[in-house]
């Protein structure tokens, strides 16, 4: 088992996609970095992610700005890794948003217009032309928009590749190392991290513990409102390529922002290089309950068949679920915690953490090194008004 360093310029807690990206960015900036992970790499939500890197599902605003920055980051990263012979299954396959109702068509058109003004590339497609993107789509469409910037990655391979790059810059990775305490001095500044295997002295801790980032914050005596929002996925048997892009119905965007107290679903369908088709996606606030919601799964399958009638003949291989790290105001928390100098959060990405990881890492690296951030980081700050206000509203059931 790897020996813990006595000290590090920065400790990253968590080896999911966000921690791996932060470790890579900090190590590349010349910091000595130790990544501490209680399991092995991707011991959390990242392994459940489909790996979509989307700009299409974001309304104009800070999250879309982050997604556009991240999208460029993935393209650069994918090319650099490919040059080194490392394959993370990055595919610039594009996304197709479709509607089967008049209301859905109006929603798609209005969203495309808003996004275009914010720098997203959107190609509006006549309903009867959607088959040139997806030959097996239903003929019952009322509208479609094509988003060429949407990409996909294999998240576990991406984490491994980012950690390997970080190690190339001198970072160390310590699996089976649970963080159990955060030490701070009389002035409140962090001085080190306690683990089951010893301590690491450091003045900088990046809390990239995803769903468990609230527990890590508690170790420092501060509250962070991150809760699990469950998602279920259906996986088909491997098939010749039937679905070429990511395809989702117009309801998908609404589902993300839907009343979190309600179980929500919307069809999201995509083929993978392995030949399986992934069918999502649901959103539920049911704590860490791992019992499948069969009713939701059946509705997901039915909606997928509405969009791709050919799927009625296809067998399912398995279903799985995961828990998105969900903040009450739908924005990730990125930056230094004003209450504990030296504690930086990189968490709360809900259903978009894989997509947003490279941009999150750039904001963290800028904050830690005192460099200018590539975009305005203030909407993601832990002391933004919506973070606690949103939580209070959710608790009150409003």
Residues making contact with ligand FAD (CB under 6 A): 13-19, 36-39, 43-46, 48-52, 178-179, 208-212, 216, 231, 233, 322-325, 347, 349-355
Shortest distance, position 296 Cβ to ligand FAD, whole Å: 12
State which residue, 325 or 377, has the beta carbon closest to ligand FAD: 325
State which residue, 55 or 141, has the beta carbon closest to ligand FAD: 55
Shortest distance, position 219 Cβ to ligand FAD, whole Å: 8
State which residue, 155 or 342, has the beta carbon closest to ligand FAD: 155
State which residue, 46 or 145, has the beta carbon closest to ligand FAD: 46
State which residue, 15 or 141, has the beta carbon closest to ligand FAD: 15
Shortest distance, position 345 Cβ to ligand FAD, whole Å: 10
Shortest distance, position 287 Cβ to ligand FAD, whole Å: 14
State which residue, 18 or 265, has the beta carbon closest to ligand FAD: 18
Cβ atoms within 10 A of the Cβ of 65, count? 18
Shortest distance, position 142 Cβ to ligand FAD, whole Å: 26
Shortest distance, position 236 Cβ to ligand FAD, whole Å: 16
Cβ atoms within 10 A of the Cβ of 319, count? 15
State which residue, 141 or 352, has the beta carbon closest to ligand FAD: 352
Shortest distance, position 195 Cβ to ligand FAD, whole Å: 7
């Amino acid at each position: 088992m790897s020996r813990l360093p006595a000290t590090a310029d920065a400790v990253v807690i968590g080896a999911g996609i966000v921690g791996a990206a932060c470790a890579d960015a900090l190590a590349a900036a010349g910091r000595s970095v130790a990544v501490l992970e209680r399991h092995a790499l991707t011991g959390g939500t990242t392994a459940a992610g489909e790996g979509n890197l989307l700009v299409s599902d974001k309304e104009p605003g800070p999250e879309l700005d982050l997604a556009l920055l991240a999208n460029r980051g993935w393209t650069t990263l994918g090319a650099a890794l490919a040059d080194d012979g490392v394959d993370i299954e990055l595919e610039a396959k594009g996304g197709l948003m479709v509607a089967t109702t008049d209301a859905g068509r109006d929603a798609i058109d209005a969203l495309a217009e808003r996004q275009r003004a914010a720098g997203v590339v959107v190609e509006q497609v006549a309903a009867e032309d959607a088959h040139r993107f997806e030959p097996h789509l239903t003929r019952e469409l009322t509208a479609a928009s094509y988003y060429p910037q949407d990409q996909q990655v294999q998240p576990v391979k991406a984490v491994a590749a980012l950690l390997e790059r970080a190690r190339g810059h001198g970072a160390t990775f310590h699996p089976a190392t649970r963080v159990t305490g955060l030490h701070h001095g009389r002035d409140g500044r962090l001085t080190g991290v306690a683990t089951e295997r010893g301590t690491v002295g450091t003045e900088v801790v990046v809390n990239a513990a995803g769903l468990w980032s609230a527990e890590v914050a508690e170790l420092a005596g501060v509250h962070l409102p991150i809760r699990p929002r469950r998602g279920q996925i259906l996986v088909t048997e491997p098939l010749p390529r039937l679905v070429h892009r990511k395809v989702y119905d117009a309801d998908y965007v609404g589902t993300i922002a839907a009343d979190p107290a309600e179980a929500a679903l919307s069809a999201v369908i995509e083929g993978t290089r392995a030949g399986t088709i992934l069918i999502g996606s649901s959103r539920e606030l049911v704590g860490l309950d791992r019992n499948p919601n069969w009713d939701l799964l059946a509705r997901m399958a039915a909606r997928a068949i509405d969009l791709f009638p050919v799927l009625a003949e296809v067998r399912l291989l398995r279903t799985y679920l995961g828990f998105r790290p969900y903040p009450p105001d739908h924005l990730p928390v990125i930056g230094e915690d004003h209450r504990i100098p030296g504690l930086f959060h990189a968490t709360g990405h809900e259903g978009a953490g894989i997509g947003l990881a490279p941009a999150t890492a750039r904001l963290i690296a800028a904050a830690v090194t005192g460099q200018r951030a590539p975009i305005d980081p203030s909407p993601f700050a832990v002391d933004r008004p919506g973070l606690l206000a949103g939580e209070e509203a959710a608790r009150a059931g409003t």
